[in-house]
A and B are shown apart, each in its own frame.
Chain A
Amino acid sequence: MTIAAIDEVLCNGCGICVKHCPIDVLRLDAERKKAVIAYREDCMLCGQCLDCPEEAIRLEPGWGRPYLLGWG
């Protein structure tokens, strides 16, 4: 895991992290007005979501990848 969590309480739904993520890991939940980790497995630890004004996003070290066997 790399992007660990988005603090639901702190997140103000501004969408900056969604905009700044270069690989579309984050999406905005329109109803709840909260950013969500939509594609965690694609996170590459670039850290741009740390631009979050509320500091609601936590990253973790360690890069593991689920084994993708045989075929997709």
Chain B
Amino acid sequence: MRETIIQTDVLVIGGGMAGCFAAVKARAAGRDVVLVDKGWVSKTGETPYAGDTTVFNPDWGHDLDAWLTQVHTVGEYLDDPRWTAIVFGEAYERFLDLKAFGVEFLEEGCEPVRLAHPLTQLEMPDAHKFPPLVSQVVHWLPGWPAKLRKAVLRSGATIVDRFVVTELLVQDGRVTGAAGFDVDGREPRVIRAGAVVMSAGGGGFKAIGYPTHGLTADGHVMAYRAGAQVTGKEFLSPHHTNPEAPGWPPIYPVFASGHSAAFPGAWHDPEMVNAEGDEVPVRGMAWHGWIDAEWEAHEGRAPVRAAGPPDGQVRPLSGPGGQGSMLGHAAGGIVPVDDTCATHVPGLYAAGDSCGTCFVGAAYSGFGFATMHAAVTGARAGLGAAEYAQGADRAAPDAAAEAAAVERALAPLRRAGGFGPRWTTQVLQNTLAPYFVLYVKQDERLRAALSTVEFLRDHVVPKLYARDDHELRLAHETASMVANAEMKLRASLFRTESRGTHFREDFPHRDDAWLAWVRLKDEGGAMTPFAEPIPEEFHPDPALPYEQRYPMRLPGEEA
């Protein structure tokens, strides 16, 4: 295979909401931009499933403090209010950008229709204990993702679809580009860039029933391997599905209709009934369910039945459909070191679900938050990268290192045999899927799962082989998922308390000594967790009784 080399100022990896904004903004700053995606820009990752977005606008009577309080309380004080304020503060500008891109919104008169937080329309048992859910959403009309793609093209950025980036090139401690291959079997590529924006989305395990299909934590893992820090891995967003026909009906058509708020309960399953016929207490006010159903199962009260989307029919729930689905939605990812979304590795920027701003904290309290977070961080990362690329003095490329990176990308294709990516993925899913590993967590079970993941990491991943370019992609995705599994298990073991969507059977309460973010960094080849303390000013008032600081009852805390 011949190797092609592309030169650009800014390389954006991942073409969803964040990546498109990064590309457009970097281009607007006058830089050359290349936007690559392992799928099809605008139809990749979570983006096509977003039915709406949240727009904070004082002129619409929105009160910033009330919005921040909603996130702070539901997020159990693990949000970073500085980022939360930035996301809300710039939402309206990004909204105007989207309109400029040609994205149409549901409007009445010339005003976009603003819908209240869907949970306010549901009977939530503990609602009164929580601050009011004030965030609102606006709806775009079907076909909007195509407008994003057009905006990127209009900006003059170059789009490279169906190209899998396998690693970041690092020279003298700086990111100088990336290497990868083309899934249609054409030549591998090296892309030299002054700066790189990682906007490759979140990390799942190819679960059925929630569209995290292509999201295999590629971005987190590449950045981590390049020396960046990762945070928020102990949290997850549980999603359920229908065991008789997992993932059916496909939800994309419903989302794409642009009216996802229209369907009942969505993933929250607000009216779950357990095997005893009792109503299952719904914990918290996060949009996505917590571990209510998992706990019922754990206590021997499965099956749990609930009205499932999109038709609202009552079915037995099955779970975790997410199989450790996403990282805490828009909460975890690559740690940004400043408000330009720069990371610990000079030249590398992060945006969207790849960026660990922790702006929602330990649980996702919003609706349409992730898309706006992606737009805002995408724009900032694009501008940050553009500025860095302008100033960056380009060192002479290290051809040998580039060739080695390309060889590593193609290694599974070169192997005559070894372990198949599908088998390895199944073994990994079998290790993580049981609710008693990543949902109802406990020290020795987490360690047991980690031991299997370490075996896959050390023995199987180095022997992954691919019969063709498609399996080559699967092999690299599998390697990323194995690394992501280690991140989730280590972070979960490290946080010896329960908070938000992180529940430890052996530490079943919040412990305010844990008002800290768990970060993971590579130390001498060992994945090492450490606690990054949260500034005192963001702590809850310790004088408040526990029940008021934490309105959500964790399993075992019911009065």
Residue ranges of A at the interface with B (Cβ–Cβ < 8 Å): 2, 19-24, 38-39, 41-42, 44-48, 50-51, 59, 61-63, 65, 68, 71-72
Contacts and interface: CB of A to CB of B under 8 A. Distances in A.
Given A20-B48, A61-B248, A71-B423, 16 more contacts: A20-B43, A22-B39, A22-B43, A23-B214, A24-B39, A38-B470, A39-B470, A44-B211, A46-B211, A46-B213, A62-B245, A63-B245, A63-B247, A68-B420, A72-B420, A72-B421
B420 A46 contact: no
B45 A22 contact: yes
Interface string B261-286: 00000000000000000000000000
Interface of B: 39-40, 43-45, 48, 161-162, 183, 206, 208, 211, 213-214, 245-253, 256, 418-424, 426, 465, 470, 473-474
| Majority SS at the chain B contact face | loop
A63 B208 contact: yes
Given A46-B211, A61-B245, A68-B423, A24 B470 contact: yes
| Majority SS at the chain A contact face | loop
Contacts of A39: 470
Interface centre among A20, A21, A59, A65 (most CB of B within 10 A): A20
Nearest to B184: A27
B474 A42 contact: yes
Contacts of A59: 250
Contacts of B162: 24
Nearest to B146: A51
Contact of B422 (A24, A62, A68): A68
Contacts of A23: 39, 213-214
A54 B249 CA distance: 20
Contact of B426 (A47, A62, A65): A65
B341 to A, nearest CB: 24
Contact of B248 (A42, A62, A72): A62
Contacts of A62: 245, 248
B43 A44 contact: no
B250 A50 contact: yes
